[in-house]
């Protein structure tokens, strides 16, 4: 059966490729992860392949699916055993870049250039290189749990991640990075209060109800968080 990305994904189709997913998952057993977990992650790769496969590229579906299934499992193992802390915003930006690359490949039968990625996300090319380093910083992790190694020398240089040009009504990425770094220094309860009041736009009373606190506690925590953010932002240098 020749797969088509427009074809509805049914249980029957998933079942047809179950042996493929299992055969790939088995190769990653030395990682120490349960086979059942590896297979479940592998199915995510299979579903992505079913959505993204383009028969016009003249590549066998099994070959294409194997690549995405293996990639998904490798990402799962590396993320789970990652000892190098990558900031959340870099991880999210990398996900967006990865999705863009996949869609670009599907439409153009080739990978986008560094310049094209930079234009898409309004980053300097140097900034894109630094963001992409986060994809590689833990990629020396072996699938064998007995021989895992981590490479710290290529950690992204945050100061080099900058917007290419100004966009109206949008904070420059440098400011967003500074804010993320400052928020990261807050206590957990302070981050939650800031999130509810300033991002979800809840009142202090509703925030108190959501966090099982008194309104006075929320007010105090909010004020302490704002004071801490001001101090952190003052000290952050690029």
Q: Is residue 123 classed as helix, strand or coil in its secondary structure?
A: strand
Q: What is the pTM of this model?
A: 0.46
- Which structure tokens are listed for 48? 């992505």
The domain 185-238 having CATH identifier 1.10.10: the answer here is: yes
Q: What is the pLDDT of residue 24?
A: 94
Q: What is the pLDDT of residue 75?
A: 81
Q: Which segments in the chain show pLDDT lower than 70?
A: 1-9, 81-85, 135-156, 167-171, 236-238
Q: What is the pLDDT of residue 234?
A: 76
Q: Are 9 and 50 in contact (CB under 8 A)?
A: yes
Q: What is the pLDDT of residue 93?
A: 87
Report the CATH number of the 1-80 domain: 1.20.120.1810
Instruction: Tell me the H-state helices in the chain.
Output: 11-16, 18-26, 35-52, 61-80, 88-108, 114-121, 125-136, 173-184, 188-194, 204-211, 215-235
The domain segmentation of the chain, as residue ranges, is: 1-80, 85-164, 185-238
Interacting residues of 71 by C-beta distance below 8 A, sequence separation 6+ = 45
CA distances (Å), origin 115, targets 118, 128, 167: 5, 9, 18
Q: Residue 219 class from Cβ within 10 Å (0-12 exposed, 13-18 middle, 19+ buried)? A: middle
Q: What is the pLDDT of residue 142?
A: 47
């Amino acid at each position: 059966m020749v797969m088509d990305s427009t074809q509805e994904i049914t249980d029957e189709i998933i079942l047809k490729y179950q042996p493929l997913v299992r055969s790939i998952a088995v190769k990653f057993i030395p990682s120490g992860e349960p086979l059942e977990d590896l297979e479940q992650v592998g199915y995510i790769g299979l579903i992505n392949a079913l959505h993204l496969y383009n028969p016009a590229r003249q590549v066998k579906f099994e070959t294409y699916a194997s690549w995405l299934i293996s990639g998904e499992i490798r990402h799962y193992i590396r993320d789970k055993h990652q000892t190098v802390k990558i900031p959340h915003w870099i991880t999210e930006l990398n996900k967006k870049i990865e999705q863009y690359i996949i869609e670009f490949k599907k439409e153009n039968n080739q990978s986008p250039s560094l310049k094209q990625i930079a234009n898409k996300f309004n980053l300097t090319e140097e900034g894109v290189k630094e963001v992409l380093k986060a994809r590689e910083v833990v990629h020396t992790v072996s699938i064998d749990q007995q021989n895992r190694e981590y490479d710290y020398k290529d950690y992204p240089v945050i100061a080099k991640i900058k917007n290419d040009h100004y966009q109206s009504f949008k904070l420059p990425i440098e400011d967003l990075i500074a804010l993320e770094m400052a928020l990261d220094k807050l206590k957990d309860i302070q981050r939650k209060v800031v999130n509810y009041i300033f991002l979800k736009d809840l009142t202090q009373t509703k925030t108190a109800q959501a966090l099982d606190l008194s309104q006075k506690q929320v007010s105090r925590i909010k004020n302490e968080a704002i004071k801490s953010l001001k101090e952190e932002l003052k000290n952050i240098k690029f």
